[in-house]
Amino acid sequence: MKIVFTKMEGCGNDYVYINGAEVKIEKELKPDLVRFLSDRHFGIGSDGVIFINPAENADFEMEMWNADGTRAQMCGNGMRSVAKYVYDKHLTDKKDLKIVSYGSIKDVTVYDKNGKADLIKVNMGAPILDSKAIPVISSSETVVDELLCTDDKDYHITCVSMGNPHAVIFMDPDSIDIEKTGPVIENHSRFPERVNTEFVKVTDRSNINMRVWERGTGETLACGTGCCASVVACILNGLTDDKVTVHVRGGDIIVEWDRASDTVYMTGPARIVFEGEIEYDQDKQELS
């Protein structure tokens, strides 16, 4: 089976994008296919795979998969890249788009430069702070600066969902062994659906530095929903103003929490890296 793909990245958060209207993949094949395509040694290499599908109640659907072959609800960097893909490839001439992911519709604005999408702004909606809805196990309705105990170290977490669960920890991101700490927190018993973890250092009221460990993927160079969750956590803890530039390892993302409307906006770039086609042999993959 030959699969036509586009490799894209948003601040280094890279995914393989497949036009679901042209490339038909059976549902039961997708987990194995995603693991193969995401493999950085034997496949294309990515943080996961995103299928761009037709949608009945929106302009397009973003069907997102983690690198380990599990479905994911939301990805801010992925959402921006989907908007650039459909705009640059003339699948739409709209600059104001509605894109649905896992049943949730997001409003996306494309800022054009020389006929191509330059910056993309995503209305990420209201942050979810209710502990049961995130979900995180807690005796409190919200988890703000709450103790999380692990076998070797205790952390203070602030939990937010931006369509997927996040635990934000305020500490120097460069001081941790993220390959060791990330999986411990991701799979902690207090997170029934696992969790994305952000390690954040506040530099001033308008700037923060962040590293992120994404569930099902590992460390990524950026995470759009993680940037949003981190800024919300900063504001809840009184550490920043409402508009913040988040400096991640792959670049900068601007996040604003309009508390009057309880809406989080995320603005950042997206880029097409390369395009091609790859041969996928299901039988061979099953034997390997």
The residues assigned a catalytic role are 75, 223
Do residues 142 and 129 make contact, with C-beta atoms less than 8 angstroms apart?
yes
Which tokens in the block code for residue 260?
A: 């009057």
Q: Residues with Cβ < 8 Å from 189, sequence gap 6 or more?
A: 137
Count of CB atoms situated within 10 Å of the CB of 130: 13
